[in-house]
Structure 1
Amino acid sequence: MATNCCSPVTFVQICDNDFCFEVAETDVEEDAYKRSKDCFITLIQCKENRFLLLNDDRTFEGQHLTATQQCQSDCKFNIQMYRDTNLAKRQGKPVMLYVNEESQKKVVCCTEQHGIYPEEMDIPDKIKEDAHKALFLLISKSPRSTNQYMMESLWYKDYFLALQPDKDNPSLNKLVLCHKPRDEVDESCHFMLK
């Protein structure tokens, strides 16, 4: 639970050489993620000028887009910010990524096999778990960069969203979870928000 390390107590009595105190009710919050009012819509650009999209096969992939296509709303992602009530300092901001499709939200989620898939869900107002399959840390690539980021899974430490060629079809780039130490450079994990 998040506290400031102080609980208001009141002395009640001495009973059999014991000091008895009463702890007052406090508004202590459980560790959680709370949905912020901050949500923005953006194109997510990957290396080789590919843009992240949810395709008709229900997979997230990187595709080349014309300037006209980049203006279409179905090419853009919503990035919902969350406030972290955990006192532990984390590098980055907790976020959920999703697309709106036919009035449904398709959220980027991790599988138990370290994969990525779209799941239809309502964006939760509060997440009580310390880690969630749809939460990622949006980490600035460098302090001087204003639009270049990496996205680390909160479910799997040291696993980042990456765009990599599909093993079965090398011309297709799919969104995957890539294991890497934070200090290791891997350009497949770098994204620009436009």
Structure 2
Amino acid sequence: MIPPGDFIPVAEESYLIVSIGGWVLETACRQLARWAGAPETAGLTMAVNISPLQFQQPDFVTHLEAILKMTGARPERLKLELTETLFMEEPDAVRETMLRVQAMGVRFSLDDFGTGYSSLSYLNRLPLDQLKIDQSFVRTLFEDTSNEVISASIISLGCNLGLEVIAEGVETQAHRDWLEAHGCHAYQAISTRDRYPSMS
């Protein structure tokens, strides 16, 4: 299996990331629609990573709208994960696109927070719903005290702004206990991947 860190840069350079991203988005929405039909999974949400290149396509909003209509997925159950690099160029245009998508009911998560273009000025300007603490801080939480400070600060910042905070890379109970004690709302870990089958 080729890890994402190897093939995504190639896909971006070759522009294939746009078509790949479109396929992923449609597949995710089809799965959301299937989940909605089962009581045990009806309340689940689906988070989908969107590349800056894909998000900046002129037809991104209309394409997303068409996918939601075609698949029957509930937009409020869909969350789009964006990275900070998206806001480095034309932040006003990005905000306008986000507002159009938000009007459909779709939510936004800021992925890998603290590892990229970490300007706090956009946090109160963009229609964000969630901050994700990057796994590089979480996995070494107890190995480097500065990562404890950074993680606690991100949690506090997110909560004070009314955003949900989720931590990536949580693989031990000690990590989970620390995050919960500091007010983190949720966590993401490989160990939970088999909890719900895809029901394909």
Q: TM-score, normalised by structure 1?
A: 0.24
Higher helix share: 2
Which fold has the larger relative contact order, with Cα–Cα distance below 8 Å and residues 6 or more apart in sequence?
A: 1
